Structure 1
C-alpha cells in the first residue's frame, strides 16, 4: 500500500513563496521546502518534478496573487486615470511586501517558465485601463509603457538607487499623474 501524501501542492507552493522572500532564489531548494512543510525531500517529488518546476509554480502563484490584488485595487473605480493610479500603487505595495517574488516575475535575466494564460489574466486589467486611456489600438503599447515605468521605478526604489534626496513617494505620484495624463492625451 502506498504511503499517504503528507503535504499538498498548495502547502509546497506557500512554503516556496515564503522561502523565496526569506532566503532568496538560491535558498528556494527542494530540501528547504521539504524541511518547511515537514517531509523528506524525496516526498516532494510526488507533487513537483524538480526545482525548475517548483520555481515556476512559485512564480505562477505570484502572478495570480498580483493579478488578484490589481483587480481588487481598481474594483468599482469608474475613472480610468484614477483606476490606473490605484493599480500602480497596489503593484508598488505588492513589490514592497514581496520584493524577491516581484523580481522573479519582472527582473531581466530570470529564466522562469510562466503560463501565458496566467500572464494574460494578470495583465488584463492594466491592458484594459491603458486601452481606455490611449485607445484600444494602443492598449498593449500603453500597458507596456505603464509596466516598464512602474517596474523601473519600483526596481530603483527597492535597490536604494534614488540617492539625490527628495520625497520618493511624491516622485511616484508625479510619475503616475504624468503617465496617466500623457496616455489620456494620446487618444
Structure 2
C-alpha cells in the first residue's frame, strides 16, 4: 500500500466543527451545510466559527479530505486483502458500501469541481489508486471508477426502476471489468 498523504492538521476545536459539519451534512444534505446552521448546532454564533476555519470552503475541504482518507483506506485494504480473481468485486463492494453509508460526504467529495489546490497534495490520487491496482491499466481504472461512481449516484438518487437487482448489476460490472484486466 502506498503511503497516504495526510490531511492538513486541524486544531481540536476545528476538528469538533468539522465533525459537527459532517453530522449536519449526513442528516440534512449539502444545501443545509451553512455556517449559520453549523454554528447553531454547536451552540455558538456564526462569526465564532471563523476563528477556527476561514470560510465554508475550508470546512468542505476538511470534510472532503477526511472522506478521501476513509474511502482510500477502505479501498486500499480491499485490494490488499483480495485474491487476484476477486479484487475487482471486492473493490466495488467496498466502494459501494462506503458511499451508501456516507451519502452526504460522498456527494460532497464527488460532485462539482474538486478543489484540488486546497487539498493535501496527492490525496485524491492516492484515494483513487486502488482502481489502478485492481486492473493494472490507467484507462481501464478510470472506466472502472466511472462505473462505480455512476452506479452509486444512480442508487443514491433512486433512479433505478423498482425491482432492479442492483447486487446482480454490480456483480455483472465486476465480472466484466475482471475479464478485461491484464
What TM-score, normalized to structure 1?
0.81
1:43 alignment partner, one of 41, 44, 48 = 48
Structure 1 segment 52-131 matched on structure 2, within 5 A: 52-79=57-84, 81-107=85-111, 110-114=112-116, 115=119, 116-131=121-136
For 1:77 and 1:152, the matched residues in 2 are separated by 23
Gaps of 5+ in 1: 1-5, 132-138
**Alignment match, 2:29:** 24
User: How far apart are residue 30 of structure 1 and its match?
Assistant: 1.4
SS at match of 1:8: helix
**Alignment match, 1:136:** none
Is the deviation greater in 28-37 or in 150-159?
28-37
Deviating 4+ runs (over 4 angstroms): none
User: How far apart are residue 44 of structure 1 and its match?
Assistant: 1.3
What TM-score, normalized to structure 2?
0.83
Greater C-alpha Rg = 1
Are the aligned partners of 2:88 and 2:177 in contact in 1 as well (CA < 8 Å)? no
For 1:105 and 1:73, the matched residues in 2 are separated by 20
- The CA RMSD measured in Å over matched residues stands at 2.0
TM-superposition CA deviations, 1:88-115 (whole Å, max 9, x none): 11110111111122122223xx244132
Are the aligned partners of 1:156 and 1:162 in contact in 2 as well (CA < 8 Å)? yes
Are the aligned partners of 2:89 and 2:174 in contact in 1 as well (CA < 8 Å)? yes
For 2:171 and 2:40, the matched residues in 1 are separated by 42
User: How far apart are residue 7 of structure 1 and its match?
Assistant: 5.7
1:167 alignment partner, one of 142, 145, 165 = 165
Between the two proteins, the alignment pairs up a number of residues equal to 169
Is the deviation greater in 6-15 or in 63-72?
6-15
Matching of residue 13 in structure 1 with residue 18 in structure 2: yes
Q: 1:76 and 1:168, CA in 2 relative to 1: closer, same or farther beyond 3 A?
A: closer
For 1:8 and 1:129, the matched residues in 2 are separated by 38
Matching of residue 34 in structure 1 with residue 19 in structure 2: no
Q: Say which structure, 1 or 2, has more relative contact order (CA 8 Å, 6+ apart).
A: 2
